Amino acid sequence: MTPRFRIGDPVTVRRAYPAGHIRAPHYIRGKGGVVADMVGAYPNPEELAKGNWNAPLAPLYRVRFAQASAWPDYVGPAHDTVDIEIYEHWLEPSAGSAHG
């Protein structure tokens, strides 16, 4: 499976709230960051939780968010970040990004 994003790509986490076993934390949905690393492809936990062991592997990224974008009321320096592991199907290219 060819990963859809590359290191350095600006991405936005889908703002969606489906039921189920979802590893994209609520606090980051709808927020924009940058792909910091690509860390392989893994069984999709949303499918595993339903007992589906045969679903395609989900590419996983480490996405870096400025704390100030994660939390509009963040009180630390602008260079502080939160890095989160997010599966590809939870990411969309950010508006204005080079490819997407």
Partner 1 sequence: MADHTHEHDHDHARTFAPDEETKLGYYGLAEIAVRELLIEKGLFAPEEFRMGWERFDTNGPAMGAKVVARAWTDPAFKERLLRDGSAAVREFGVDMGLIHLYAVENTADVHNVIVCTLCSCYPKPLLGPPPDWYKSRDYRSRVVRWPRQVLREFGTAVADDVQVRVHDSTADLRYLVLPERPAATTGWSAAELEGLITRDALIGVARIAPPPTHGATE
Query: Where does this chain bind partner 1 (CB under 8 A)?
Result: 23-25, 27, 39-40, 42, 45, 60, 62, 67, 70-71, 74-77, 79-87
Pairing of strands 10-13, 81-87: unpaired
Q: How far is the CB of 2 from partner 1 (least distance, A)?
A: 19
Q: Considering only CA atoms, give the Rg of the chain.
A: 14
For partner 1, which is the closer residue by CB, 34 or 82? 82
Residue 98: CB minimum distance to partner 1, A: 25
CA angle, residues 60, 24, 84, in degrees to nearest 5: 60
Which of 51, 98 has the CB closer to partner 1? 51
Amino acid 7 reads I
Which one, 85 or 92, has the nearer CB to partner 1? 85
* Lookup: tokens for 79: 């260079």
Q: How far is the CB of 45 from partner 1 (least distance, A)?
A: 7
Q: Quick one: tokens of 12? A: 């936005």
